[in-house]
Copies of this chain bind each other. A is one copy, B any other.
Amino acid sequence: MALIVQKFGGTSVGSVERIRNVARRVAKWKAAGHDLVVVPSAMAGETNRLIGLAQSLQPQPDARELDVVASTGEQVTIGLLTMALLEIGVKARSYTGWQVRVLTDSAFTKSRIIEIQDQKIRSDLKAGYVAVVAGFQGMDENGNITTLGRGGSDTSAVALAAALKADECHIYTDVDGVYTTDPRLVPEARRLRTITFEEMLEMAGAGSKVLQIRSVEFAGKYKVPTRVISSLTDPDIPVAEEGQSGTLITFEEDPHMAMEKAVISGVAFNRDEAKITVHDVPDRPGIAYAILGPIADASIDVDVIVQNVGHDGMTDMTFTVHRNDYKKAVKILNDQVKPHIKCRAVSGDERIAKVSIVGMGMRSHAGIAAQMFRTLAEEGINIQMISTSEIKITVVIEEKYTELAVRVLHKAFELDQA
């Protein structure tokens, strides 16, 4: 008998019929003797509806009040799912974030969890109840309602699993696991049976949308075994089978898991970014801050940053930002930064893609980067930027080569082989 936290996304609870299916799925696990804590998202479309109402009254909605409104989506779902469970004879009780309670900081619309008080849920589980807990939401120390931001239900589920020391956290979603790359691009893409949380983190950062990056950080920090499972299968498939399906996010400490690993686990890509170069800036201390400080002040996130070694006391700095922020960033550099640091020019390119290979194995295998660059060169794909971490190599290339680059890298690292 295990304690399992199960999270269901907005599509999985998107209609009365689907909520019934979720209830059947949960009932099946309960019947198998497990303790269940279930975390549903808001019904698909509901959060957008609520935010739309808010924006039509206040174009930039007050953050505290937006959380009051947006948090109702999950509150509705916990009540409905609990009813569906009761209707099929499963003892269940719902909890909002403040009822649990999930204590957060006061950064409305993007709060971070500080502490989860688990007494009520523990005593419910002991009494044989399924606890149905609203994802995405919490309460600050002043009793205000807070939300964790988009995708926050994943984080709620993993954080609950950590607080309750759950045996496993199941993230039910509309894909059946984590793939070596996007199967829509590469039909040979394979589902990974396991992936380390570090790899998952790099995959998420590199554009893979399976799990929200904060929830992966949480899973890693608290070592929560987290499994991504499809919610589109027959709700009545046996627990033994469902419990081995999908992709399990593991921790390297497990030697069996580490041994099994291939060199590279996956190829990720992202076409949402744009590249900006500041040319011929004086190569002196403080220059990176002088350039990126005003960008950060405008709340623009910077991703890949590359600075070449200098020449003649000058250097170039290149970085990527989200395409939506591109024009704003270029304007800031021209208006505020250029006159100040006396660089030669600011240039940019919106038609780029970021392609990464990710794998724990590359730490103990030399020549992975060289193999990646050779593979791309053989296809005539020019590399514009390179950035590396311990378990990821990212290149920026011309956008039109994205599919080709992903396909050849997937093949070169034999990700299509079982």
Residues of A near any B CB (own CB < 8 A):
16, 19-20, 50, 53-54, 56-58, 61-62, 64-66, 68-69, 71-72, 75-76, 78-80, 82-84, 86-87, 93-94, 96, 98-99, 143-145
Contacts and interface: CB of A to CB of B under 8 A. Distances in A.
A109 B78 CA distance: 17
Contacts of A16: 53, 56-57
B98 A83 contact: no
A238 B54 CA distance: 29
B53 A65 contact: no
A94 B65 CA distance: 7
A67 B53 CA distance: 23
Contacts of A57: 16, 19-20, 80, 83-84, 87
A95 to B, nearest CB: 9
B50 A65 contact: no
Most buried by B among A50, A71, A79, A82: A79
30 contacts: A16-B56, A16-B57, A19-B57, A50-B76, A53-B76, A54-B80, A54-B83, A57-B87, A58-B83, A58-B84, A62-B82, A62-B86, A64-B93, A65-B80, A65-B82, A65-B86, A65-B94, A66-B79, A66-B83, A68-B78, A68-B79, A68-B94, A68-B96, A69-B75, A69-B76, A69-B80, A71-B75, A72-B75, A99-B143, A99-B145
B87 A65 contact: no
A58 B76 contact: no
A76 to B, nearest CB: 5
B76 A75 contact: no
Contacts of A99: 143-145
Contacts of A83: 54, 57-58, 61-62, 65-66
Contacts of A84: 57-58
A73 to B, nearest CB: 8
A152 to B, nearest CB: 17
A-side interface mostly = helix
B79 A58 contact: no
Nearest to A101: B143
A87 B144 CA distance: 21
Given A62-B86, A65-B79, 13 more contacts: A19-B57, A50-B76, A54-B79, A57-B83, A58-B83, A58-B86, A65-B82, A66-B83, A68-B94, A68-B96, A72-B72, A72-B76, A99-B143
A57 B19 CA distance: 8
Closest 6 CB pairs of A and B: A69-B79, A72-B72, A68-B79, A58-B83, A65-B79, A58-B87
A20 B93 CA distance: 37
A395 to B, nearest CB: 45
A12 to B, nearest CB: 15
A62 B92 CA distance: 11
Contacts of A98: 98
Contacts of A53: 16, 76, 80
A243 to B, nearest CB: 26
A50 to B, nearest CB: 7
A20 B58 CA distance: 10
Contacts of A145: 96, 99
A57 B82 CA distance: 9
A69 B46 CA distance: 14
A201 to B, nearest CB: 34
